[in-house]
Structures are given as C-alpha cells and as structure tokens.
Amino acid sequence: MRIPRQAPAALLLWAATAMPAQAEPCNGRFLNPITDICWECILPFEIVSPYACLCPAPWPVLVRLGIVFQFWEPVWLVDVTREPYCFVNMDFGIDFGLFAPEGTIQDARDTKNPSAFYQLHIYENFFWSASLGLTVDAACKLMYSGGPNYSVEWFTELDPLWMDDELAFILAPESALFANPVAQTACAADCAAATVGDPIDTLFWCAGCQGSLYPMGGNADDHTGGVMASTLLTERLVAKMHRQLIAWDTTSDHCGNEPGPLIKKSQYRLQITYPIPATVDGCPAFGASEVPRAAGQEIPYKGEDFGYLVWRQRKCCVSY
C-alpha cells in the first residue's frame, strides 16, 4: 500500500475536507511540529567509519565522493486508536463507509488476562519531509541511492491480517518457533538491553519489555496498561512493514537502502506524541521499558488513544 511521496499530506487534507466527519468522538490533537516533537532526538549527528564514501551516480558523473554521516530522523506518525479511522495525530475522524471493528481494552481490574485491541495508521511525518527532510534527501543524493519510496501509508482497518492472529500467521509462519517459554524468556535480555541502550537485533522476535513482536496483529495480551499495549502494537506495525518490504534497512549501506524483511530494531526509536508529548529525553529504543513515560499518560476517555512518532536512524553518503 505504497503511495507517492506527496500523497500523505494531500490525502489527509483531502480527507479532512471532503469526507464526512465521524459521528463517534475522535480523541486526538493536531501535532505541533515546534512544541510536540523532541528535536533533540535528531542527535547525535555522527561521522562514521569509513569516513569517506564512494557511491555510484548517474551518467555522466558515474561516481560521487562524500562523507558517511549517521543521524536520526522523525519519519512516521502512528495513530493507535479505539475508534476506526480516527487520526489521533491529526485530530480528526473520517467515515469511509467501510466497517472495521472498534478497539477493546480489558485491564487487570476486569480480568485475569488483560488484553487490548487497537486500530493503527502509519503515515509520513510531512512536517519533516517538507522541510529539513528535503535538505537531507538532497545531501544524501537519495535519488541515486536506490531503495523504495518511504512515504508509507497503512490502515489496519483495511487489513484482515491485523484483525485475526491466525491470519497473521500467514505473514510470519516462523512465529510458531517462538511460541514457547524458552524463546519468550530471552526477551528479558532484550528488555534490559533496550532500556539501557540498544535492543538486541538478533532477538528479532522480541519487543523487549513489551513482550513479543509475534503475531503481527492488533491483539495485545498480558499488558499492564494502554501505554504498554500501544507501544507494543506500534512496534509490531513497523515490523510488519518490514515483512511486507515496505520499510527497508537504512543503516547497513551508506550508498543506499536495503530490503529488510526482519526488522532491525536498533534503527528505530519511539516518541509518544499524545496524550502528552514527550519532548525531553523522549525517544527510547524499541523494547525499552515504558514505565518511566507511562505515568500520567493514560487519561480516562481522552487519554485512552495514543499517538507516536517513529524516529529512524539513517546512514548515508553526504556529498555535493
């Protein structure tokens, strides 16, 4: 479900004006690109080894010489909502006329096996791509570097695999190998590593402190609250994008991007943007403990849906 680079902003603006608003409430807030984004998360800007890079370029240049830079960029916005077609980060809901199940939440006070189901949307952070992102693209010569267009749009309301864990098995049959106590116990090490630094990429089935990335569906079991459940589902959706070859590895080759059907967790960080934006030290690694940032986030009614900003690490050959 890949669409042209200019489409995310145009699609959302068109939807807000051309489609009838939902009768049901849609809780969210329009993302303020100045005050709601943790801009310090773009750091560090690093020159990495090998310092010089030589990459292919179109005729008549053929090759281009540059310096290898590595940095973080805020690429995707993610809505985690109980109300279908509610864009939490855009603060509007759309009635597409297509049925989709609503989200459900059962916490430990209601049942011995707390569970949750949410609908998610992932789309380009056009505040970045329309401003500093253009400068980065020009410096990295991405038109020469290969790889897909990263203007991703995905609506889980239109994805039957998101609704049913058994159907999700079709996308990731290897999940059967990790449905055992030994494999899940290994996720404790991933939790510790992600909380103090970077997650363990070789434990690709683990979502650190949030549990397991499998099945790649919208059901989150055994959660301790909405922040944990929404964090887990956001991580699952990014992993699902990799499995579907929509999201690629952006850190292995400074001359371009590579297909990555298994998510490289260390190239991503998450920032919560709704209900309360985490703008200071707000970009933990995938799988890091959600406990420090969960306090005060889950508010009855208006604070039971969530918004996230996905930061992606990029390595590229910067040249002129």
Of the chain, the percentage scoring pLDDT greater than 70 comes to 85
Kindly report, residue by residue over 32-77, the tens digit of the pLDDT. 999 999 999 988 888 887 789 888 887 887 888 899 989 899 999 9
Q: What is the pLDDT of residue 17?
A: 43
More confident position, 157 or 298: 157
Residue-wise pLDDT for 157-197, tens only, equals: 999 999 998 899 999 999 889 888 888 899 999 999 999 99
pLDDT at 160 (0 to 100): 93
Would you state the pLDDT for residue 6? 44
pLDDT at 114: 75
| 198 three-class SS | coil
The model's pTM is 0.87
CA distances from 290 to 232, 236, 251, 275, 302 (A): 10, 15, 25, 15, 20
pLDDT, position 311: 95
Query: What pLDDT score was predicted for residue 22?
Result: 44
The predicted structure's pLDDT at residue 107: 65
* Residue 304: per-residue pLDDT: 85
Choice between 70 and 17, residue whose per-residue pLDDT is larger: 70
pLDDT, one tens digit per residue, over 224-253 is 888 999 999 999 999 999 999 989 999 988
* Percent of the chain predicted with pLDDT > 90: 43
Q: How confident is the model at residue 140 (pLDDT cuts 50, 70, 90)?
A: confident
Per-residue pLDDT reduced to its tens digit, 85-117 = 999 999 988 887 888 888 887 765 555 667 889
Residue 1 confidence (pLDDT) above 50? no
Helix and strand element counts for the chain (H, E): 10, 13
Task: Find where tokens 């077609």 sit.
Answer: 85
Query: Mean pLDDT across the stretch 79-83?
Result: 94
Answer for the pair 165, 258: CB distance below 8 angstroms, yes or no.
no
Q: For residue 88, what pLDDT is reported?
A: 94
- Return the pLDDT at 282: 76
Residue 141's pLDDT is what? 64
In this prediction, residue 112 carries a pLDDT of 65
Predicted local confidence at residue 108, as pLDDT: 55
The whole-chain average pLDDT of the chain stands at 83
Report d(CA 247, CA 250) in Å as an integer.
Answer: 9
Long-range Cβ contact pairs of 293-300 (< 8 A, separation 24 or more): 293/227, 294/225, 294/227, 294/228, 297/226, 297/227, 297/272, 298/225, 298/226, 298/227, 299/275
Distance, CA of 295 to chain centre: 22
pLDDT of residue 2: 42
Q: If you ran DSSP here, which 8-state letter would residue 205 be given?
A: T
Q: Is pLDDT of 214 > 50?
A: yes
Which is higher by pLDDT, 85 or 6?
Answer: 85
CA pair distance 88, 306, nearest whole angstrom: 7
Mean pLDDT of 291-318: 86
Higher pLDDT among residues 4 and 270, named by residue: 270
What is the Cα–Cα distance from 138 to 266, expressed in whole angstroms? 25
DSSP, residue by residue, 246-258: SSEE-SS-TTS-E
